[in-house]
Amino acid sequence: MNFSFSKSDEALLHLGRALKESGYSFITSTPFTHARVNARSENQTAKNLRDIFGWSRVFQREILPTEIWDLINAAQIIETHENGLRSALRLSSLGGELFWHSAFPTSQSDAVFFGPDTYRYTSAIESLIALKGSTPSRVVDIGAGSGAGAILAARAFPNAEVLGVDINEAALRLTRINAELANVKNVRAQQSDLLNDVEGNFNLILANPPYLVDEDERAYRHGGGPLGAELSLQIVDVAKARLSVNGTLLLYTGAAIIEGRDPFREEVEARLEGEFEYSYREMDPDVFGEELENGVYRNAERIAAVVLTMTKT
């Protein structure tokens, strides 16, 4: 699907292509790791393109080729810093493609997240695609963010209609640009609160919602409820109503484990008795361990990254 881009969006797209042609690559780490690496004395100022567009370090104009500098200006992503300049966006590698997303630190209320959860999420999607016996005609990625899940699905199912929905206009913008950067034409980005603004049923629903309790309630991070699971449970309920027969939901999320129990799993199992077949597994037993110092998680042993797959029978 072709999009109509503004001049700044076109420049950002061309900047992504130029960086890709240059051999640029960058794997995004956790915020905790990112902060620790950037705090090293030798990492205070950018020395190359990875430092600028991956590590979000302050840079000086002189280190950039003229072509890249002109594209940055046209894309309007330069921020002035007391010690130099800084890019407002990052560019990360995944599956041979590059994805624009928000610069570190992601403190803005409309930040577009990309990180280790994105790699785990898309790995779960790839595993599901490898096992899936049928080809879906209609797919939606709820809370599309950078568009990584929607773009992966669109590439796997080129004849399917693929929607990437989000409440965040900044995320929808980057989903459109990243889809074009990946040369994927069957993704449509649309604003929607869950599936409230989208009609019809789906053969495949994908979701990687926020699952932490964030005191600032930033949309990309705050999952709601006492332990961050409220939005994930809402997605389960929405999928129950909007999956076609034999349709599947893949939900990648987090679950706080309390004294060996998984309250999120218990809630899910209570909802899925009857017409749904499902599997539930821990993909990573311990993520965001620093959150255990937060009073909200004072009774939690760990936060696990989990994958729920449910199919309507």
Q: What's the pLDDT score for residue 133?
A: 72
Q: Is 109 part of any domain?
A: no
Per the prediction, the chain carries an average pLDDT of: 95
Closest CA to 138 of 280, 225, 52, 247: 247
Q: Is 107 part of any domain?
A: no
In a shared domain, residues 136 and 92: no
In a shared domain, residues 90 and 155: no
In a shared domain, residues 38 and 139: no
Phi then psi for residue 259, to 5 deg, are 50, 45
- Distance, in Å, from the CA atom of 144 to the CA atom of 141, rounded to the nearest integer, reads 5
Phi then psi for residue 202, to 5 deg, are -135, 145
Which domain covers residue 91, as residue numbers? Answer: 7-102
In a shared domain, residues 228 and 185: yes
In this predicted model, what pLDDT tens digit does every residue of 220-266 receive, in sequence order? 788 889 899 999 999 999 999 999 999 999 999 999 999 999 999 99
Q: What's the pLDDT score for residue 2?
A: 54
Q: Give residue 24's pLDDT band: very low, low, confident or very high (50, 70, 90).
A: very high
- Distance, in Å, from the CA atom of 16 to the CA atom of 22, rounded to the nearest integer, reads 10
Q: Is 268 part of any domain?
A: yes
Q: What is the CA radius of gyration of the chain?
A: 20
In a shared domain, residues 134 and 218: yes
For the segment 182-205, the average pLDDT, to the nearest whole number, is 97
Last-in-domain residue among 65, 80, 102 = 102
Q: Is 144 part of any domain?
A: yes
Q: What's the pLDDT score for residue 98?
A: 98
Last-in-domain residue among 67, 102, 137 = 102
In a shared domain, residues 67 and 120: no
In percent, how much of the chain has pLDDT > 70?
Answer: 99
In a shared domain, residues 126 and 210: yes
Does 136 sit behind a cis peptide bond, omega within 30 degrees of 0 on the bond before it? no
Question: In CATH, what number is assigned to the domain containing residue 178?
Answer: 3.40.50.150
In this structure, what token pair is assigned to residue 203? 């053969």
Strand, helix or coil for residue 70: helix
In a shared domain, residues 150 and 188: yes
Cα dihedral sign for 78, 55, 59, 97? negative
Q: What's the pLDDT score for residue 3?
A: 59
More confident residue, 82 or 145: 145
User: Is the pLDDT confidence value at 218 over 90?
Assistant: no
Q: Is 137 part of any domain?
A: yes
Q: What's the pLDDT score for residue 215?
A: 79
- Give the DSSP H or E segment for 12: helix 7-21
Q: Is 262 part of any domain?
A: yes
In this structure, what token pair is assigned to residue 15? 């900047």
Strand, helix or coil for residue 128: helix
Q: What's the pLDDT score for residue 241?
A: 96
Q: Is 205 part of any domain?
A: yes
Q: Are 106 and 113 in contact (CB under 8 A)?
A: yes
In a shared domain, residues 145 and 294: yes
Rounded to 10 degrees, the C-alpha dihedral 37/41/47/49 comes to: 20
In a shared domain, residues 125 and 235: yes
Q: What's the pLDDT score for residue 1?
A: 52
User: Is the pLDDT confidence value at 108 over 90?
Assistant: no
Rounded to 10°, the helix 7-21/169-181 angle is 50
Q: Is 1 part of any domain?
A: no
Q: Give residue 29's pLDDT band: very low, low, confident or very high (50, 70, 90).
A: very high
In a shared domain, residues 205 and 234: yes
Strand, helix or coil for residue 40: coil
How many domains is the chain built from? Answer: 2
In a shared domain, residues 63 and 158: no
- Distance, in Å, from the CA atom of 82 to the CA atom of 228, rounded to the nearest integer, reads 36
The overall pTM is greater than 0.75: yes
- Distance, in Å, from the CA atom of 96 to the CA atom of 92, rounded to the nearest integer, reads 10
For the segment 148-175, the average pLDDT, to the nearest whole number, is 97
Last-in-domain residue among 71, 102, 133 = 102
